[in-house]
Amino acid sequence: MIWKLLKQCCTVNVICILGLCAIRRSKKILKAYFTAKIEQTPPYVHNLKRLAEECSLLDVFSEEQLDLIEELVPMNIEARYPTYKEQLLKSLSENRCKDLIIKTEKLCYWIKQQL
* Residues ≥6 apart with Cβ < 8 Å to 63: none
Query: What pLDDT is attached to residue 37?
Result: 92
Which pLDDT tens digit goes with each residue over 44-59?
888 889 999 999 999 9
Which pLDDT tens digit goes with each residue over 62-86?
999 999 998 887 776 655 666 666 6
pLDDT at 109 over 90: yes
Q: Which of 82, 88, 83, 86 is CA-nearest to residue 23? A: 88
> According to DSSP H, which parts of 9-93 are helical?
14-38, 48-54, 63-78, 82-91
